[in-house]
A and B are shown apart, each in its own frame.
Chain A
Amino acid sequence: MPLFTPGDDPGPSFADLLRRTGRQPEIPQLSASERFDITHGTTVVAIRYADGVVMAGDRRATAGNWISHRAIEKVFPADRHSGVAIAGAAGPAMEMVKLFQLQLEHYEKVEGDALSLEGKANTLGQMVRNNLPAAMQGLGVVPLFAGFDTRREGGRLFEYDITGGRYEETRFAASGSGSMHAGTVVKLGYREGLSRDETVDLAINSLFEAADEDSATGGPDLVRGIYPVIATITSRGFERLDEAEIAERFRTLLERLAIREAGAPARVPETSDQRGVDEP
């Protein structure tokens, strides 16, 4: 059982406690020639709406051009009133989420009170910054953080860069390989005061379009019944949406898109025995 003298006490910081007890994981030292394809998680989005924030992430993990996992999860509760979504090297990202969840709970138990939302966002920023040496070796992690600020009564969301830079966004944020497409879809569909249903549909739409353009982002897998993870964070806390609801919303989207595609002009086949032959 770790006991410390008052001057040496790590306080409520779990990361500090890991350092003091010699459990800090080492930073990998890889030279450029030794690099290999590691598993990457891809696209996540967070959108603020009337009651809080919607967070969504696809389910694909890739290693180079392989699909290494079809049902990985990238959206996690950080604590009761906040969530974290990850993109980047899957191993370090999962470890970061685990440590972040632990850190928030550890602080709450040691101090007897939870961190402010701002404090949680800064904690995650420090963790991303501490990961910078690993990021330089190709093991970068770029998370999104969102929560319901119980002191300010509203949803807030934060994005990060690889150096640990923390940027609060007022409307939406996206991260990962498909973030440009997903972000653009959300940007065009966003307005102030969206309802929950509208926001969830916007998130679903954005992930679908990202998967349509980016091979590392997974679309809905109708064969295996694997759909993106979507959660809302409101005054009631972090709540993951039912798989059935997400499946239903995807079906509606696919039906709408199928009607649109059916109206497109027919393609002329590139290789056809009709080519160059005059109609009789």
Chain B
Amino acid sequence: MSMPFYVAPEQVMKDRADYARKGIARGRSLAAVVYDDGILMCAENPSSTLRKISEIYDRIAFAGVGKYNEFDQLRIAGVRSADLKGYSYSREDVDARSLANQYAQILGQIFTHEMKPMEVEILVAEVGGEPGTDQMFHILYDGTVMDKQGFTVLGGEAEAIADRLESEWREGLDLANALRIAVGALGGPDRTIEPSELEAAVLARSNGRRAFRRIDRDELADILPAAPASNSTTRAPSSTEPPQTAG
């Protein structure tokens, strides 16, 4: 029987993190932006059926980037956890912070104990009753939780996109402006993203009990400025992406 090679724990963790980061970087990014009536989430996604952004509970939404089957499994677990908690106690007792902690536990556990880490980055967002009370929890593949204010970006090109948002974002944006800067930041200076390549949804205070609402592509086309034909350099969706990732 041969002895297994010794690998330093630092090296194991680094390899896993690199593996997860590479997987996430293959998919496209997602931006979440606080605006005057709540939180806007916007992602590049050529598919209109495989969603990156979804409703979890009355005031809570979920967004994920990376490997579709993995973040969708997390999404469903979140819906189940929230519905069970609301059923056992009260609808008011379901909150994003608790969900984010549960996600962090799962992702951390899988990162250290399983063969392969999850190649996902997720966002748990909760719209508050008043402006300024919205919460966004950005959770990484290894279970790191970050409490974000104003805006946050998930995915491979997160830093560049966050830099662009940093210069554009301000408090009290309306929905149309929030959408324009989010889409502008996702695309960058030399690329315009068509409404048919976008998925967007809001958690809006004014929406009643269930704050989540999808913004369909017709509505997106109405809000976003029409792209000048010459400037449009949309990427072909199928050639640049592996089949497992949705957008």
Q: Which residues of A contact B (CB under 8 A)?
A: 1-3, 14, 17-18, 21, 23, 98-99, 102, 105-106, 109-110, 112
Binds A, one of B21-29, B81-89, B168-176, B181-189: B81-89
Chain A binding site: helix, strand, loop or mixed by DSSP? helix
Chain B residues touching A, range: 20 to 34
Establish whether residues A109 and B84, one from each chain, have CB atoms under 8 Å apart when the complex forms.
no
**Once A and B bind, how many residue pairs between them come within 8 Å at the CB atom?**
46
- What's the nearest-Cβ distance from chain B to residue A219, in Å? 32
A-B contact pairs, 11 of them (CB 8 A): A1-B102, A2-B80, A14-B83, A14-B87, A18-B84, A102-B83, A102-B87, A106-B80, A109-B79, A112-B51, A112-B54
Q: Is B227 an interface residue (CB 8 A)?
A: no
Q: Does B117 contact A (CB under 8 A)?
A: no
Instruction: Return B86 CB to nearest CB of chain A, in Å.
Output: 8
C-alpha gap A99/B83 in the complex (Å): 11
Identify the B interface with A (CB < 8 A): 51, 54-56, 73, 76-81, 83-84, 86-88, 99, 102-103, 105-106
User: Beyond A23-B88, A102-B87, is A2–B81 a contact (Cβ under 8 Å)?
Assistant: yes
B80, closest chain A residue (CB): A2
Q: Contact at B79–A1, with CB atoms within 8 Å?
A: no
Given A14-B83, A23-B88, A102-B83: A2 in contact with B77 (beta carbons within 8 A): yes
Provide the bound-state CA to CA distance between A137 and B50, in Å.
Answer: 47
Residues of B with C-beta under 8 A to A99 = 87
Counting chain A CB atoms within 10 Å of each CB, which of B56, B78, B81, B87 scores highest?
A: B87
- Tell me the bound Cα distance from A33 to B175 in angstroms: 64
Check if B51 sits within 8 Å of A17, measured CB to CB: no
Alpha-carbon gap, A18 to B85, bound state (A): 11
B102 and A3 contact, CB distance less than 8 A:
no
